[in-house]
Amino acid sequence: MKRVTDFGLDSDGDMYADDLGLALTGDAPGVLQQTSLRLRFFRGEWFLDDERGMPWWQRILVKNPDVVEIEGYFRDAILSVRGVRELTYLASSYTDAKNREFRIDWRASTDLGELASTERITL
């Protein structure tokens, strides 16, 4: 039986419905979705705790950023997802300055096996 972890989100980040109603996600797709949400969550975005989230404006998208520090933020965000045991690969780059796109490639060992993803975050 599938372990449900969250509402299903489409590629725009909106909840969607399937034939049975509001879609739910879990298992490997749920871990991938939670990882994506953590990487896209901006620090200061949540009014109840403005220290939570990724420091996109404060530390990542700054002049002369510290690449080691930035990858540490990504590593911490991915490892904070329930079920992720070890990060086995991580690479990131600011791929498109004109469109302000950041790319994060990662691979991790999880309770459900090896998972990998490429996140393209357009700011």
Residue-wise pLDDT for 90-105, tens only, equals 999 887 777 778 899 9
Of 4, 5, 39, the closest CA to residue 117 belongs to 39
Pairing verdict, β 21-22 and 17-18:
antiparallel
Q: CB–CB of 25/8 below 8 Å?
A: yes
Whether the pLDDT of residue 77 is over 80: the answer is yes
Q: Does domain 26-122 sit in CATH 3.40.50.300?
A: no
Of 100, 64, 29, 51, the closest CA to residue 37 belongs to 29
Q: Return the domain boundaries, the chain.
A: 26-122
The mean per-residue pLDDT over the stretch 59-66 comes to 85
Kindly report the pTM of this predicted structure.
0.84
Whether the pLDDT of residue 79 is over 90: the answer is yes
Whether the pLDDT of residue 13 is over 90: the answer is no
pLDDT value for 3: 66
pLDDT value for 1: 45
Whether the pLDDT of residue 4 is over 80: the answer is no
